[in-house]
Amino acid sequence: MAAPELEQLIGLLSKLPAFGPRSARRAVLSLLKQKESKFVPLVAAMQTVLDKVDACPVCGNMDTSKPCSVCQDEKRDKTLVCVVQDVADLWALERAGVFKGVYHVLGGVLSALDGIGPDELTINELIQKAALGTVKEVVLALPATVEGQTTVHYLSDKLSEFNVNVSTLSRGVPVGGELDYLDDGTLQLAFKARRNV
């Protein structure tokens, strides 16, 4: 058996998404083989992120500054709020560079099966933002799953009390999508929502 210190590290790593015990072991050995070039910088980078990065109190984004750089950006349109499931989705939208408003990280989607109700998410915080009257549009950029769409309906219902425009992402054939690789649901939806060219 490996030393207890090694076993402990492998155990902790194997709880991360994408890792199992075998790949955690391989990762640790690969780090040990290149201590100076890989292991030392990785531990230093982890310590820095651990010390400096925290959730933004306004939107829930993970950043080194509080509020986060998106919320602090003067050029961002604060009247436009995009609701996302988690920080990974926020980063994906930022990489795409299409949205110039601010975000609201929900922390998940409603799911009766997983026991996630409105109180487990930041829905109250979203309602409070809408109640301030400064928000003109809320874009619900939630996943196109049953749970995601249930959440869209729940939120648009809640937000209908306020004077805000509620929108959601369009659905259809993704860019570069071959039709025969797409699922039936997407094809039906794309057909129904077809538009004149």
Contact residues for its own copies (CB under 8 A)? Answer: 1-3, 5-6, 8-9, 12-13, 15-19, 23, 25-32, 35, 38-43, 45-50, 52-55, 62-65, 69, 86-88, 91, 94-95
Nearer to its own copies, 50 or 113 (CB): 50
CB of 27 to its own copies, least distance (A): 4
Strands 54-55 and 62-63: antiparallel
Measured from the CB atom, the residue of 63 and 147 that comes closer to its own copies is 63
Whole-angstrom Cα distance, residue 72 to residue 129?
A: 16
Nearer to its own copies, 36 or 119 (CB): 36
The least CB distance from residue 104 to its own copies, in Å, is 16
Using the minimum distance from each CB to its own copies, give the nearer residue, 48 or 79.
48
CB 89, CB 141: distance < 8 Å: yes
CB of 59 to its own copies, least distance (A): 14
Nearest Cα to Cα of residue 59 among 152, 154, 138, 162: 138
C-beta closer to its own copies: residue 76 or 136: 76
Q: What are phi and psi of 79, to 5 degrees?
A: -85, -5
Q: Choose among 102, 93, 17: nearest CA to 60.
A: 102
> Do residues 122 and 90 make contact, with C-beta atoms less than 8 angstroms apart?
no
Minimum distance between the CB of residue 144 and its own copies, rounded to whole angstroms? 18
Question: What DSSP string describes 41-99?
Answer: HHHHHHHHHHHH-EE-TTT--EESSSS-HHHH-TTSEEEEEEEESSHHHHHHHHHHT--
CB of 92 to its own copies, least distance (A): 9
